[in-house]
Amino acid sequence: MLWRERMKLEFHVQGLFVRASVLVQAWQSLHGSKVVLEHEVPQMASRIVLAGLAGIPQHPSAWHYSNEQDRIAQEEQRMQRDMLRCSADIAALQAQINVLEFELALL
């Protein structure tokens, strides 16, 4: 019975490792989007300045840039929370597995 419980926990840990891997890949992808967005800043700034000099209201793409920045920041925060939760879950399950291994060793 203890052995079965240990195997179940190890299977769950493997699932969490897969989840962590997916989160790392998503984080890298998000970071790539952030870099691309940061490269647009000089162009965006010049458009805003030119629009201001010409008396034209703020360019809609500047609004899009701001919204995209907010979306990326929110997504980063969500991913950080997910990564922390995943790490904590892995640590908790590893501790349970260690307890079961100790109990199995006593048998």
Give per-residue pLDDT as tens, 70-93: 888 899 999 999 999 999 999 999
pLDDT digits 0-9 by tens, 23-61: 999 989 988 887 776 766 666 666 666 666 766 666 556
Tell me if 61 sits within 8 A of 37, measured CB to CB.
no
Question: Total domain count for the chain?
Answer: 1
| Rounded Cα–Cα distance for residues 42 and 64 (Å) | 15
Which residue range(s) make up the domain with 80? 2-106
| Rounded Cα–Cα distance for residues 52 and 30 (Å) | 31
Other residues' Cβ atoms within 10 Å of the Cβ of residue 75? 16
